[in-house]
Amino acid sequence: MTTPHQAITTDQAPRPGGHYAQGVLAGDWLFVSGQLPIEPGGSVRNGDAFADQADLALRNALAIVRAAGKAPEQVVKATLYVAGIGNWGEANAAFARAFGDHRPARSIVPVPELHFGVLIEVELIAL
């Protein structure tokens, strides 16, 4: 048995740069593809400070959550890929700014590098 699913798109986040959807709604579950610090119009913000990159990547991911008719409080899991473990503290602070009192499950994964030389990528799952 297959579960019907629907691609979610919004102009409030950057267009996919490859063969994927910004998000996929499968039943009540929303899966948001990894979002980079790229302006919705396509400008890559790889020269910005880590905090600004993190805020933008989270803003992009949450725009897709909202486009699916969900609220940030419905996010149940987040994965943040950060270039270098030294950025963990700032990633944590950006996450707290984005989610306030809501505390979804989360992983912060240090990686050696990310596409376009950005410092963070954010993916979310919401219910």
* pLDDT tens-place string over residues 39-60: 999 999 999 999 999 999 999 9
Whether pLDDT at 3 is above 70:
no
Report the CATH number at residue 20: 3.30.1330.40
* Residues 4, 5, 8: CA angle, nearest 5 degrees: 160
Q: What is the model's pLDDT at position 1? A: 54
Answer yes or no: is pLDDT of 6 > 70. Answer: yes
Q: What is the pLDDT of residue 4?
A: 86
Q: What total number of domains does the chain contain?
A: 1
pLDDT score of 116 more than 70 = yes
Segments forming the whole domain that contains residue 99:
5-126
Here the tokens at position 125 are 């799952």
| Residue 7 pLDDT | 96
**Cβ partners under 8 Å of residue 29, min gap 6:** 125, 126, 127
Count of residues for the chain?
A: 127
Which residues lie across from 71 on neighbouring strands? none
Residue 51's closest CA among 123, 119, 3? 119
